[in-house]
Structure 1
Amino acid sequence: MQWLDAAPAILAAALVLIGPGLLLAWSVGTRSFALVALTPLLSVSLIVVAAIVSAFVGMPWSSLAVFLLSLMVSGAAFTVSRWRGRPKANRLVGDYRALYGLLGTLLAAGIIGARLIYVFGRPDSISQTYDNIFHLNAIRYILETHQASSFTVGGMTGIPFYPAGWHAVVSLTSQLAGTSIPVAVNATNLVIGAVVWPASCIFLCQQVLGQSRLASALAGLMSAGFGAFPIMMVDFGVLYPNLLSISLLPALLALGIQLLKLSVAPDFPPALCGVVLLLAAPGVALAHPSTLMAFLAFLAPAVLMVFFGSWRQWRLEWPQSRIRAGSWTSILLAGMLASVVAWLIVRPPAEAAFWPPIQSPLGALAELALNAQMDRPPAVVVSAFVAIGTVLILRKPKLWWAAGMLAMACMLFVAVSSFRPGRVRDFLTAIWYNDSYRLAALVPVAGVLVGTCGAFWVARRMQEVVQDFENRRPVAARGAGSRVRTTRGPVWVGAATVIAIAVLSQLGGVSYSANKARTSYELGVSSPLLTADEMAVLNDMQDLVPKNAVVVANPWNGSALSYALADRTPILFHVLNDNATLNDRILLDRLREAGDDPDVCLAVRALNVTFVLDFGKQEINNGSHPAPGLENLEDTGIVTKLSEHGEAKLFRLDACK
């Protein structure tokens, strides 16, 4: 399959991530580039809420459920805004500055999109990683059960709740495009990484630098210049839900900055901004709750800065301001308490946060300084701009919140990657499973903002130097009409800066991340999750096995993907199952004894098993979870071989009729 063949799926993914939220964003008064940046955020919120509501009322999951909810919420928002009087937009619909943000997004989309296409290789490739067993099968589970609620998807493996925002989005892409699950996955991730992420970053940077064309272009380039995100999230894990939630995070932070009145280019009055923030938060929370906790942590420096700045003003006008000071202090304390409670609750079970530290604190700081997290090569150009931006921000007290955001991201990475296991490390980072990769991916959120400030300052200084040179040139040397001040030189300098950063930012960490991630999507004779031979058997399975058949398969060797890739149901959908039964264990351990052991036949009939997949002993992550009941079945006389490619085999079970 070629990428041109995947165009309908890519367009469907774009429609899913843009369509639902566009009407709502417009209804609440969003205009200019904010309309572009906030639409995916609101779309994901509508999708996750529609998934829960549709499951609750018994409505089959489809784009219709999302459309109806979008229509109702948008209608209510429009009615309320008309009743209260629509606030005057700070920027008009046709404001040409919105085009700068769009052009910056397109610039980044070209770079990131090319990288992701290189990583995926083919539109129907799959990530050969541990977590992808769950992700792919969860999408099939949604399509089969017609439910995408975060309270039902986990039922596939017997857990009561799983944040299924990403899975719901991909399921809609698959439904709309009528394409396979792998194609829908790659198409959706392409749109998330190449469009949603840079647009979100540009919107955050506009809160500091405004909507100039240079700032928008540089922000887009910076979003493409970090090896830790977005590419690392389609490599390690694989952490697709984090890819979606982190891509939305900068836009959510931008709303928080506007709510605190720290933005140089606000799109909403504070009250309306708060409403939009509340509408957007569910999307991030149910894409992955840990990213909502990152939002609280990253916004905390800005909240404290505003509070203490206000407190100084209150002290100057104490008799008139004491009630206000007391009220806001109480609100802050209540918010801090609620945040701490959420910080302690919104985390996985302690036994799941098992990842150890990987380096010393000095090593962690060195990686951060060079943007070389997780052993990636240094991103020299990007790191230089981040360093320059940090110095500039520290010289401007009104922007200290941006430095605080970066400091918070760095502190969390240092803690997870270098602190000793214990209560302090668990308190700070167990929300992210104590996993260094997940927190390394959060650093670019703040890094893009600070790095763009640095790049913008350098570009403007270069433009000023050229402009000054142009102004100092003798009139005769400038030619006819030269008495009018020229701006051609600075424009060319800005363009040259953009081109230079576009090229240089792709060296080092980004190239390494792309090359490393590409190996995770290669299908070969020894691929870690599913080999080429095993894929061939799954392809044969679609013709040889009835669609409603149940298959015995060891999930650790990749055969559980018969569900996602061949639409045939295995007895276990993932390697971790809270709903595994004694019958499942009997079949995996003793199926070959079906001719002599009546308990085996009881298990076969209880599970309605009629076929067997044997993908050998190679397991994901070099695991060892043998299924002796499936070994050498052709020697037992209880099966008929239907397909064989290498060591991968498909059998029909003849015993226990």
Structure 2
Amino acid sequence: MSWSASLPIGLVSIAWLLVPGLLVTYGIGLRGIAAWAIAPVVTIAETAGLAVVARKLSVPWSAPLVAGVCGVIALVTATVAFVVRRRAPARPSDPRAVTLAAVLGLVPAGLLGVWTVVRGFGEPDMLSQTFDAVFHYNAVAWILDTRNASSLSMGALGVPGVPETFYPGAWHDLVSLVVLTTGTSIPVATNLVAASVALVLWPLSCLFLVRQVIGRSPAAMAITGVLSLGFTAFPWSLLGWGVLWPNLLGMSIAPSALAVVVSVCGLATDDAIGRARAWALSPVVAVALALAHPNVLFSVVVLAVFPVFTALIRRALRLRWRGVAEIAVAVAIFLLGWWWAATTPVFAAVRSFHWNPVATPSQAVGQVLRNATDGYDSLWLLSALVLLGALAALRSSNRFWLVAGQIVSAVLYVLSASVNTPSTQKFTGYWYNDSYRLAAMVPITAVPLAVVAILLLAKWIGRVSPAGWRTPVAVGLAAVTVAATFGLYLSSHITALATWYIHPFSDRSVLLVDGREHAFFDRIKAQIPPGALVAGDPWNGSALLWALEDRKTLMVHLDIATTADQDYLGAHLIDAATDPKVCPAAERLGVRYFVTGDNVFWPDSPARKKYPGLADPGGRPGFRPITEDGPLKLYEITACSR
């Protein structure tokens, strides 16, 4: 598929991300940047929450269901807002100059972002050649097959005999809606939703946070969009590495979530939403973050500590002993929450996840200062702006918390990247002790700090320039930054994506499905009845037969809970004609076909040795060859025919 042909699918993706939420945000009286930035937060909470409720009520998941329910929610919330309009009148729109600056500022951001995605993905239907992509692709296939999109069920992907478990499903719910609406393939829908999240949701979210921190500043709005796409750690790293699409979705709305916290705390400059609406939106924000990915909820909680305690300290200065008591209660709640999260069995598997350190502590500190986390290229000029912005923010009581948040994000990254011991896992375990996820936190505060720096430089220059030139000077400085860094480090960002989409084709050890195997899957689809289950070693790419061709496989992921029957077939299927236990297990599961291949994804992984029974049976009895293309073969299992 060409990029031009994918444009309508991209527009549908953006519509699903924004429109359900916009109906609510405008209905409750938000306007401008606030309405557009909070819209995806509402959309995520609505769609993922509805998926859970629909499952409980046994209502099949569908696009009309989501559209209808979201319409009803919009009508109800607008009615309530109308009834209480005297106490909470509609927020006034920002001056036209502010909104226009924000819109125009998104244009260069969009151009740089689209170019990065086009060059980094290669084609709209390219597969992410990563471990986690198998789960995410097949999770969408599971939704389409079962019409069950509940996060409470998703963890098992419908494996018979495996209990349903929680996995945050907002990402997969939204991708499934794009597939249901457009009829496109799962990989295309995935890529277009991912691009929409990175290029639309994240810049909007950053605009809103900057709007709350700095106020009605045309200069700030004009430069935020393009600066938001300058950091490799986010969105570009999570758009490729892992691949961490649910984290990508959640992190894209984290600045908006933090902006709501800033409003609740009374720290916003020319507040765009108001405290009453901020309080009302808080549970919606929490639901959206939790169902996008709980990692991001933890990220926002950590960053929110600083504006919350800033507000409490201010109250203490006014209320004295009552304020001190409030601080004591807040500290106790925070410590009890941290103690529970650090000890509860609920997060035990996540907390104990181990990654080998990738740097020494001093190297990790240098990486985060240069915004070169996890071995990415150094972003020298952008990092200098962040440091200058931090120095400027220290002089403002309303922005001091940004610096504290930046420091804590940096510390968490250093702990995960360079230490990662049981003692540090009490702090980094909620992100799987993963340096990539923690590095993605850094730009949340780095973007507004970089904006503060450019505004400061524009102010200095403005002292010797004509009055009213501050916005043009700020835009000029941003343009110089873009030019001096060759498109805000465009080549580095392209490489961050191409490493997982294009480059694997030159190294088969990191290639899950190549073009030849994909074409083979296309050909054999018609030879496999829709209800049949297909056996195959998931490590040779066969697990993606489900997502690519709607033919469910015996093994649906490279690492997921399995049943005794699955394990036995994985070890003994090629002995179907001689092992009396094979056919009963195959019949219980409905396995009738067997596909083989020769891909060598992660050849050194011990997990590859788990499936000796799914090797090519060759001339063994009990298997009838149907079609083949070299090592790629489709067999019918005749040994178990009744």
Question: Contact between 1:357 and 1:419, CA under 8 Å: does it hold in 2?
Answer: yes
Match of 1:471 in 2: none
* 1:310 paired residue among 315, 338, 345: 315
CA shift, 1:594, in A, is 1.9
Task: Specify the structure having the higher radius of gyration (Cα).
Answer: 1
1:633 aligns with 2:614: no
Match of 1:70 in 2: 70
Q: How many residues align?
A: 630
1:105 aligns with 2:85: no
Partner AA of 1:35 in structure 2: A
Question: Contact between 1:296 and 1:339, CA under 8 Å: does it hold in 2?
Answer: no
Note the aligned Cα RMSD (angstroms): 2.3
Measured at CA, do residues 26 and 521 of structure 1 come closer, stay the same or move farther in structure 2, by a change above 3 Å?
A: same
Match of 2:505 in 1: 524
Partner AA of 1:80 in structure 2: V
Structure 2: tracts of 5 or more residues without a match: none
1:501 aligns with 2:502: no
* 2:555 paired residue among 555, 567, 572: 572
Match of 1:478 in 2: none
Residues 402-454 of structure 1, C-alpha deviations (whole Å, 9 max, x = no match): 1111112111111211235122x111001111111111111111111111111
1:616 aligns with 2:621: no
Partner AA of 2:217 in structure 1: S
Measured at CA, do residues 211 and 339 of structure 1 come closer, stay the same or move farther in structure 2, by a change above 3 Å?
A: farther
Question: Contact between 2:140 and 2:186, CA under 8 Å: does it hold in 1?
Answer: yes
* TM alignment of 1:22-41, pairs within 5 A: 22-41=22-41
Measured at CA, do residues 524 and 360 of structure 1 come closer, stay the same or move farther in structure 2, by a change above 3 Å?
A: closer
CA shift, 1:19, in A, is 1.4
Question: Contact between 2:263 and 2:271, CA under 8 Å: does it hold in 1?
Answer: yes
Measured at CA, do residues 124 and 574 of structure 1 come closer, stay the same or move farther in structure 2, by a change above 3 Å?
A: same
CA shift, 1:327, in A, is 5.5
598-607 or 549-558, which moves further after superposition?
A: 598-607
What TM-score do the two structures reach when normalised by structure 2? Answer: 0.93
* TM alignment of 1:6-21, pairs within 5 A: 6-21=6-21
Matched residue of 1:466: which SS? Answer: coil
Question: Contact between 1:556 and 1:623, CA under 8 Å: does it hold in 2?
Answer: no
Question: Contact between 1:536 and 1:645, CA under 8 Å: does it hold in 2?
Answer: no
Matched residue of 1:382: which SS? Answer: helix
Distance across 2 between alignment mates of 1:276 and 1:406: 25
Matched residue of 1:368: which SS? Answer: helix
Measured at CA, do residues 351 and 591 of structure 1 come closer, stay the same or move farther in structure 2, by a change above 3 Å?
A: farther
Measured at CA, do residues 587 and 333 of structure 1 come closer, stay the same or move farther in structure 2, by a change above 3 Å?
A: closer
Distance across 1 between alignment mates of 2:114 and 2:257: 23
* TM alignment of 1:423-502, pairs within 5 A: 423=423, 425-467=424-466, 492-502=472-482
Distance across 1 between alignment mates of 2:302 and 2:217: 29
Matched residue of 1:651: which SS? Answer: strand
Match of 2:397 in 1: 397
Partner AA of 2:39 in structure 1: T
Residues 558-600 of structure 1, C-alpha deviations (whole Å, 9 max, x = no match): 211111011111112112222x223222322222222222222
* 2:536 paired residue among 529, 540, 553: 553
Partner AA of 2:578 in structure 1: D
CA shift, 1:213, in A, is 2.4
Distance across 1 between alignment mates of 2:388 and 2:520: 55
Question: Contact between 1:221 and 1:501, CA under 8 Å: does it hold in 2?
Answer: no
Question: Contact between 1:390 and 1:403, CA under 8 Å: does it hold in 2?
Answer: yes
Residues 234-259 of structure 1, C-alpha deviations (whole Å, 9 max, x = no match): 22111011100000100000010011
Distance across 2 between alignment mates of 1:524 and 1:645: 19
Structure 1: tracts of 5 or more residues without a match: 316-321, 468-485
Residues 485-529 of structure 1, C-alpha deviations (whole Å, 9 max, x = no match): x75x66653443232223334568552242142131137372521
Residues 604-645 of structure 1, C-alpha deviations (whole Å, 9 max, x = no match): 222222211112361336424243323342311432333333
Match of 2:81 in 1: 81
* 1:255 paired residue among 244, 260, 263: 260
Distance across 1 between alignment mates of 2:364 and 2:113: 26
Match of 2:589 in 1: 607
* TM alignment of 1:287-366, pairs within 5 A: 287-315=292-320, 322=321, 326=325, 329-330=328-329, 333-334=332-333, 337-338=336-337, 340-342=339-341, 345=344, 347=347, 349=349, 353-366=353-366
Distance across 2 between alignment mates of 1:106 and 1:41: 23
Match of 1:647 in 2: 631
Question: Contact between 1:537 and 1:650, CA under 8 Å: does it hold in 2?
Answer: no
Match of 2:222 in 1: 217
Matched residue of 2:100: which SS? Answer: helix
What TM-score do the two structures reach when normalised by structure 1? Answer: 0.91
What is the percentage of aligned positions where both structures have the same residue? 29
Partner AA of 2:126 in structure 1: S
Partner AA of 1:309 in structure 2: R
Measured at CA, do residues 560 and 491 of structure 1 come closer, stay the same or move farther in structure 2, by a change above 3 Å?
A: closer
Measured at CA, do residues 506 and 276 of structure 1 come closer, stay the same or move farther in structure 2, by a change above 3 Å?
A: farther
